[in-house]
Chains A and B, each alone.
Chain A
Amino acid sequence: AQSVTQLDSQVPVFEEAPVELRCNYSSSVSVYLFWYVQYPNQGLQLLLKYLSGSTLVKGINGFEAEFNKSQTSFHLRKPSVHISDTAEYFCAVTEGSYQKVTFGTGTKLQVIP
């Protein structure tokens, strides 16, 4: 069965500093991986996704993530964060053609001015 682990529940970071949000997954088959962002009182929206091809995936708002199959990780990075990046970030995984998506428990990114 698939599972997702986001070890960091909260990540405080100063404005303009780099950030990495960690995501590890567990699956017995090939996977599709996603990062979503949730701003306060809103629904989730897609930041980026890995379906196949290049393991380095670029998303919106300057975020990128790297799929590492050997380490079963899909960490999210941004070289310089902005106050507006303060939000909850969710990693998600789905297996093959099965349409069930499993979400991680979320990481709250708090950007400090």
Chain B
Amino acid sequence: DTAVSQTPKYLVTQMGNDKSIKCEQNLGHDTMYWYKQDSKKFLKIMFSYNNKELIINETVPNRFSPKSPDKAHLNLHINSLELGDSAVYFCASSQRVNEQFFGPGTRLTVL
């Protein structure tokens, strides 16, 4: 069983489109995260939810909107995609202050 899963794995789209990435964890963790990893492998946190409540919201354009329907799911919706949004997006989950479990990543390419 996959602990943290993301769909889709690859996403290729045109500038200006709207897209969503889904994330699910079956570990029973309370906290979920979205990270962006750029081409230089730099990993930056975007959002974090704890029991469906937003607790971390870094400096991210408001075109990015997370949504947590329940504590096992954290989706990321992106409006009006731009070239600079091209990156690998990772979902992760953790239980309190402890290790994070990462999903396999979604490689987003904006043309």
Count, A-B residue pairs, CB within 8 A: 60
Summarize A's interface: helix, strand, loop or mixed: strand
Complex: chain B residue closest to A108, CB-CB: B41
B interface bracket (residues with beta carbon within 8 Å of A): 20 to 34
Q: Kindly state whether residue B34 has any CB partner on chain A within 8 Å.
A: no
Distance, CA A36 to CA B48, complexed state (A): 19
Summarize B's interface: helix, strand, loop or mixed: strand
Asked if residues B102 and A99 are in contact (CB atoms below 8 Å), the reply is: no
Q: Please, how many residues of chain A have a CB less than 8 angstroms from a CB on the other chain?
A: 25
Complex: chain B residue closest to A103, CB-CB: B43
Asked if residues B43 and A90 are in contact (CB atoms below 8 Å), the reply is: yes
Q: Which residue of B43, B98, B105 is within 8 Å of A106 (Cβ)?
A: B43
Which residues of A are in contact with B by a Cβ distance under 8 Å? 32, 34, 36, 38, 41-46, 49, 51, 88, 90, 94, 96-97, 99-103, 105-106, 108
